[in-house]
Chains A and B, each alone.
Chain A
Amino acid sequence: MTANEARDDEFPSIPKVDKIVHEPARFTIMAHLFVVESADFLFLQRQTGLTWGNLSSHISKLEAAGYVEVKKEFLDRKPHTTLQLTNKGRTAFQEYRESMKRMFSKLPR
């Protein structure tokens, strides 16, 4: 075992961290979707404090990664978007949390 491999065993290297989840706004979005079954765009905007455009942009990235399922429909002739974390997204979020916890627990106090 090389020195690098030994270090990786005890300390997950930063490049291995899921960068899709790591971005604070996306992490917040995923955390909110993690605790509910589904939510609409307005609810997420109110909860996260992000602007429409910013939230939309992050949702697009999460959708492209397969972490969020987006359902678009029209209610009373107005666009309505419902968002739900996919199983892949749920797993990615859990793995991210666990890897972060492991990493921080190794740091000296």
Chain B
Amino acid sequence: MAERINLKEVERKVYTSYHQDGLIDISIAFVILTFGIMMILDLGWMGGVFAVVGMSLYAAAKKTLTVPRIGFVKFAHYRAKAMQAVAIGVLSLMVLLGMLAFMQTEEGGTPPWLLFAIENHMLVIGVSVAASFCAAGYTFRTKRMYAYALLTLAIFVTGHFLYYPLHYYLILLGTLILLSGLAMVIRFIRRYPLSTTEPTGDSGNDG
């Protein structure tokens, strides 16, 4: 038995089943969509507010929709900790780049690397969002996040050559992920009807 069972596969199955409800997809789509819509309204800074709202909605929906159907599991934290370290590293790098850009601009004109990034902002944003999806795929062990990363790259690389405003691509990406998430939620609810409560005593067959 020990020869046949693969603990990594068991772990992957546990992660996959807990995140098959599509709620994480809907939350991500909500954040991307609202950011795109806020950009149209010239309120792009509100994106941060909706990110917090999206996370709160995710937690509430998980508790209401998922836990009564498939139960609750607390995962080992080593992946989350690794991701926190990566996130802190990326944020530090972004702060450093920002400071460097500010200092160089103050000294005399826009540095060439910043001009390059501004000229190719669609590619820069596309790669950043795709990298975030890959990180989410690793953390939650969900392969579809890698598919979203590819979708993001496809949309933003296309956008690089089409010259439409950024928010169109954000809304397109958000809508596609939202549709995928909604389809998953419907499938999840059909597959896992609400469970009856636990029995109060120990009973049943012995194995």
Interface size class of B (residues with CB under 8 A): 20 to 34
Contact B10 A53 (CB under 8 A): no
Contact check, B207 vs A53: say whether CB atoms are below 8 A apart.
no
CA distance A31 to B8 in the complex (A): 10
Q: Does A15 contact B (CB under 8 A)?
A: no
Kindly state the separation between the CA atoms of A43 and B205 in the bound complex, as whole angstroms.
20
Within A40-88, the residues touching B (CB, 8 Å) are 40-47, 51-60, 78-82
Within the assembled complex, what's the spacing in Å between the Cα atoms of A51 and B206? 11
B3 & A35 in contact (Cβ 8 Å cutoff): no
B1's partner among A24, A54, A55 (CB-CB below 8 A) is: A24
Among B18, B71, B199, B203, chain A packs the most CB atoms within 10 A around the CB of B71
Whole-angstrom distance between the alpha carbons of A42 and B193 in the complex? Answer: 13
Total A-B residue contacts, Cβ distance less than 8 Å:
106
Given contacts A27-B1, A31-B5, is CB(A38)–CB(B73) below 8 Å?
A: yes
The answer, yes or no, to whether A10 is at the interface (CB within 8 Å) is no
Within 163-207 of B, Cβ neighbours of A (below 8 Å) are at 192, 195, 197-200, 202-207
Encoded as 1 (CB less than 8 Å from any B CB) or 0, chain A from 29 to 41 comes to: 0011011111111
The reply to whether B205 and A54 contact each other, CB–CB distance below 8 Å, is yes
Question: Looking at chain A's contact residues, is the secondary structure mostly helix, strand, loop, or mixed?
Answer: helix
Interface flags, B7-23, vs A, CB<8A=1, else 0: 10011011001100000
A40 to B7 CA separation, bound complex (whole angstroms)? 19
- Asked if B76 CB lies within 8 Å of chain A CBs, one says yes
Given contacts A47-B13, A53-B199, A80-B198, contact A42 B204 (CB under 8 A): no
Specify which chain B residues have a CB less than 8 angstroms from the CB of A78 in the assembled complex: 197-198
Query: Can you spell out 17 A-B residue pairs with CB atoms less than 8 angstroms apart?
Result: A26-B207, A27-B5, A31-B7, A36-B14, A38-B74, A41-B71, A42-B195, A43-B73, A46-B70, A51-B204, A56-B203, A57-B203, A57-B206, A57-B207, A78-B198, A80-B198, A101-B3
Chain B residues with a Cβ under 8 A of chain A: 1-3, 5, 7, 10-11, 13-14, 17-18, 70-77, 192, 195, 197-200, 202-207
